[in-house]
A = this chain, B = another copy of it.
Amino acid sequence: MDFKRQKAIYIQIADYLLENILAGVLTKGDKVQSVREMAATVQVNPNTVVRSFNYLQDREIIVNQRGIGYFVADDALEKTQALKREIFVQQDLPEVFKMMKLLNMSFEDVQNIYQRQANGASATKKSPD
């Protein structure tokens, strides 16, 4: 797992788990990796993982069973969808629409970019003209 410099690592770890929940990889009741395991997996200090887990526990996405570990909460999927969708629709999309307007781009343009990026996920470009 490689981290971006701009975002806090503990947030990126939390987001990684949230994405796994959204994608159905983690479902309710599943045990989450232990703090030490996760720390070893992603190569960070255990304290940083603790912080991620606290972050998710505060939001009731995961729950702690004392002495045993963390587990995905029953309504984690719903909570996560609500959380992410809220941010996406209320914050991210308005920004996008604004940029589209400022850059004079249409939905068609955006869809074309999507097509281009979908093909050759690793390749950077594909000349359409």
Contacts and interface: CB of A to CB of B under 8 A. Distances in A.
Interface of A: 5, 8-9, 19, 22-23, 58, 64, 66, 81, 84-85, 88-89, 92-111, 113-114, 117, 124-128
Contact of A103 (B22, B97, B114): B22
A124 B106 CA distance: 11
A99 B93 CA distance: 10
A25 to B, nearest CB: 11
Main secondary structure of the interface of A (DSSP, over half): helix
A94 to B, nearest CB: 6
A23 to B, nearest CB: 6
A113 to B, nearest CB: 6
